[in-house]
Amino acid sequence: MKRYRNEWKYTIHEKDIQILFERLNAVLEKDRNAGGDGYYSVHSVYFDDYTNACARENEAGISERFKYRIRYYGTDHEKLRLERKEKSQGRCHKETAWITEDTYRKLMSGDVSDLFWETDQPLVRQFCIEIMNRCFTPKIIVNYERIAFVEETTNVRITFDKNISVSDDFDHFLSGGYLSIPIQPLDEHVLEVKFDEILPGYMKNILTKQELIQSAFSKYYLGRMTLQNYTR
């Protein structure tokens, strides 16, 4: 059975990040991926079909939808992961498969007929079907810096995503050093709160002190719109 999690998103300003960081840092552990300053970088290629269904469903607010992406953290592009993120009635479910660089290149090129038969990973095979049937292709790269707090016992994860930017330079996705365009004003960032059923009261109290306004923020959709406007 699929396990869905709550995912609350907020647009947050720099001054509020500093306040929340101090409060959360006093009661939660940082994610193990964090560097010395607490942050680590996230790099993702998002895919869509030939009708741009993922973008259109997001814009229309369709409650049942999904998207595919390939992601790595920091500069370690040897640890690539294919992810399928599904949303249902405001809750999210994510499937992940570790992939090789060879598999990555086949998925990016759309040349997956042999990969479909060769792979023993159900998610990779499922995505091969989507590529062959619906012509899923890479649409954008989304980059950002993240600091994450975790509470293992209750499976809560709170993240600050800063300096979110977009590119379509797929040739240099793994090597880096490409032009990436900000999708928000410099002072705006994203706060995400992910939990299973109940958010512990002390965490809710910390968050509500800032009078944050919940948002349906989508990095993929805003990235598509930003890149579209930039290239006009």
Going from N- to C-terminal start, the domains of the chain cover 5-230
Question: Percent of the chain scored above 70 by pLDDT?
Answer: 97
Burial of 148 (0-12, 13-18, 19+ CB in 10 A): buried
For 48-72, write each residue's pLDDT tens digit: 999 999 999 998 888 889 999 999 9
Evaluate if pTM is beyond 0.85: yes
Q: E strands of the chain, at which residues?
A: 5-13, 29-30, 40-48, 64-73, 80-88, 91-99, 137-151, 156-167, 181-182, 188-195, 214-215
CATH number of 5-230: 3.20.100.30
**Tokens of residue 10, six digits:** 């907020």
